[in-house]
């Protein structure tokens, strides 16, 4: 299949001033979705792989394009709050309050599903995941695509979610009708998922909208224990049980006081080098100069965790070009945005943590 690449310029991304050619291309992309095709596009979290959520054939194609197990449900993206009533069987008052506080934005709500949503889209579940994103390109495409766009992250299953179009092209070229290139995304981690079908509401996947921010609106909020803990109970978001984000080298998280972390990484790196192996480190600005691994990748600044969230997936992908056998990463606090960062990093490392 020939994949069309649609590029959106800065004015469209910053001020929603789309050129006539861009507007036409987005209308064409919307039409592709309406007739059952697939279009990858930027959102404020990561790039999504979009298809018509109310068309079972489109959902089947999404699973096939990603190589994703079909019991892993898709999030339905909408463009107007009132559209939620067609896909949710019930919209509790808490959902309205969350929407007022965080939509448009990086929050997904789990609600009872309406009959109109095909089981293919919800992986056979009786609940549905809904989000109203803020990215101007995503919003237009949802509108032009019929109003209900299922869009999981636009990566091959198991790989890090794409934060730039280059990685979408790498994974999806030839598998989808079009890819909209809208530059680098802003947040870099997938949406927070909160389940409103249980009491108290429960966070199934941490994200940019933190536990604290949700608690301020909901009063009480629980966290699925599987979010941070390895093994144990099965996570309640089916997708969270799969190995995710894995780079090709073996990733190890090293936890401890900064000087000790660097000393540990450097001694292991020396051993690996003696055995003829290349190694890498994932380093914050604060520690960047201290590692003697063959490759050192900058992930961001501890004082501004948003930089770490934005760079994490790209750094994991970049290591695939480095032929390193071991990658050592610093660890982050599990508070605030750190909860989402550590959740993704732990999955990428298969929960391999060394304490020094």
57, 36 contact by CB (below 8 A):
yes
Q: Which of residues 38, 91, 98, 129 is near ligand AMP by CB under 6 A? A: 129
Both structure tokens of 58: 């489109």
What phi-psi label fits residue 157: left (phi over 0), alpha (psi between -120 and 50 degrees) or beta? beta
Pairing outcome for strands 295-300 and 192-195: unpaired
- For ligand AMP, the closer of residues 291 and 313 by Cβ is 313
Tell me the window of 51-59, 119-127, 304-312, 346-354 that interacts with ligand AMP (CB under 6 A).
Answer: 119-127
- For ligand AMP, the closer of residues 193 and 262 by Cβ is 193
91, 111 contact by CB (below 8 A):
yes
Return d(Cα 317, Cα 169) in angstroms, integer. 13
Continuous segment of H or E residues that includes residue 150: strand 149-150
Range 145-164, binding Mg ion (CB under 5 A): 153
Partner from Mg ion, ligand AMP, none binding residue 33, C-beta < 5-8 Å depending on class? none
Return d(Cα 57, Cα 248) in angstroms, integer. 32
Pairing outcome for strands 279-284 and 353-355: unpaired
- Residues in contact with ligand AMP, shown as a per-residue x/- string from 185 to 224 under the rule CB under 6 A: -----x--x----------xx-------------------
- For ligand AMP, the closer of residues 203 and 253 by Cβ is 203
Residue of minimal Cβ distance to ligand AMP: 239
- For ligand AMP, the closer of residues 95 and 129 by Cβ is 129
| Beta-carbon-side half-sphere exposure of residue 56 (alpha carbons within 13 Å) | 8
Range 81-110, binding ligand AMP (CB under 6 A): 110
Q: Does 329 bind Mg ion (CB under 5 A)?
A: no
- For ligand AMP, the closer of residues 74 and 342 by Cβ is 74
- For ligand AMP, the closer of residues 108 and 331 by Cβ is 108
Neighbours of 71 (CB within 10 A): 12
Q: Does 112 bind ligand AMP (CB under 6 A)?
A: no
Q: Does 62 bind ligand AMP (CB under 6 A)?
A: no
- For Mg ion, the closer of residues 156 and 228 by Cβ is 156
SS3 254: strand
Size of the site for ligand AMP (CB under 6 A): 20
Both structure tokens of 59: 């959902």
Q: Does 58 bind ligand AMP (CB under 6 A)?
A: no
Return d(Cα 215, Cα 219) in angstroms, integer. 5
**CA-CA-CA-CA torsion for 302, 340, 161, 157, nearest 10 degrees?**
140
Which positions ≥6 away from 146 have C-beta within 8 Å?
30, 33, 34, 52, 54
Beta carbon of residue 83, minimum distance to ligand AMP (angstroms, whole number): 17
Q: Does 339 bind ligand AMP (CB under 6 A)?
A: no
Beta carbon of residue 153, minimum distance to Mg ion (angstroms, whole number): 3
Which residues lie near ligand AMP (CB under 6 A)?
A: 72-75, 110, 122, 125, 127-129, 152-153, 190, 193, 204-205, 237-240
Which residues lie near Mg ion (CB under 5 A)?
A: 153
């Amino acid at each position: 299949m020939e994949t069309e690449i649609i590029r959106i310029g800065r004015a469209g991304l910053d001020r929603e001033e789309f050129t006539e050619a861009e507007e036409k291309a987005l209308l064409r992309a919307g039409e592709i979705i309406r007739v059952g095709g697939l279009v990858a596009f930027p959102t404020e979290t990561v790039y999504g792989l979009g298809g018509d959520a109310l068309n079972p054939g489109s959902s089947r194609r999404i699973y096939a394009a990603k190589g994703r197990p079909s019991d892993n449900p898709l999030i339905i993206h909408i463009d107007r709050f009132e559209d939620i009533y067609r896909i949710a069987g019930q919209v509790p008052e808490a959902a309205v309050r969350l929407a007022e506080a965080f939509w448009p934005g990086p929050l997904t709500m789990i609600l009872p599903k309406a009959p109109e949503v095909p089981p293919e889209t919800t992986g056979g579940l009786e609940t549905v995941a809904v989000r109203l994103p803020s990215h101007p390109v995503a919003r237009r495409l949802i509108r032009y695509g019929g109003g209900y766009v299922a869009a999981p992250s636009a990566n091959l299953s198991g790989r890090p979610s794409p934060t730039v179009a280059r990685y979408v092209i790498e994974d999806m070229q030839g598998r989808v009708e079009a890819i909209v290139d809208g530059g680098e995304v802003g947040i870099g981690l997938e949406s927070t998922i909160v389940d409103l079908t249980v009491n108290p509401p429960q966070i199934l996947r941490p994200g940019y909208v933190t536990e604290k921010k949700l608690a301020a609106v909901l009063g009480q909020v629980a966290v699925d224990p599987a979010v941070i803990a390895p093994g144990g109970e099965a996570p309640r978001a089916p997708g969270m049980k799969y190995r995710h984000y894995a780079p090709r080298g073996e990733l190890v998280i090293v936890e401890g006081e900064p000087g000790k972390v660097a000393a540990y990484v450097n001694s292991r790196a020396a051993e690996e080098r003696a055995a003829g192996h290349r190694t890498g480190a994932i380093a914050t600005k604060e520690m960047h100069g201290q590692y003697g691994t063959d490759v050192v990748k900058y992930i961001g600044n501890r004082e501004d965790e948003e930089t770490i969230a934005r760079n994490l997936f790209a750094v994991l992908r970049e290591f695939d070009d480095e032929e390193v056998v071991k990658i050592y990463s610093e660890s982050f606090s599990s508070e605030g945005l750190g909860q989402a960062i550590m959740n993704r990093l732990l999955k990428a490392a298969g929960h391999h943590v060394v304490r020094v």
